[in-house]
């Protein structure tokens, strides 16, 4: 039974870094992201439905999958 205390907290840090990078560069927040089998971790029941596709992974789009 391992605990990973930063797993959920990391999402906030990742979003902050993405938004900061977007402020100083031409980062497109609507850029399509391809998902391959090698991107998945062992148990990815939602994400595995996106393998082989590229889409803008916004919360509403990802949540409706």
- pLDDT one-digit tens code per residue, 15-40: 888 888 888 887 777 778 788 899 88
Q: How far apart are CA 47 and CA 40, in angstroms?
A: 7
Q: What is the pLDDT of residue 64?
A: 52
Taking the domains of the chain in order of start, what are their residue ranges?
A: 7-63
Q: Give pTM, 2 decimals.
A: 0.48
55 strand-pairing partners: 33
Provide the pLDDT for residue 35.
85
Is 8 or 53 the better-scoring residue by pLDDT?
53
Q: Could you tell me if 36 and 51 are in contact, meaning their C-beta atoms sit under 8 angstroms apart?
A: yes
- CB of 65 within 8 A of CB of 47? no
């Amino acid at each position: 039974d391992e605990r990973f205390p930063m797993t959920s907290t990391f999402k906030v840090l990742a979003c902050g870094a993405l938004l900061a990078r977007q402020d100083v560069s031409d980062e497109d927040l609507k850029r399509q992201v391809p998902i391959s089998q090698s991107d998945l971790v062992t148990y990815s029941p939602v994400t595995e439905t996106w393998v082989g596709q590229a889409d803008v992974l916004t919360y509403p789009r990802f949540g409706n999958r």
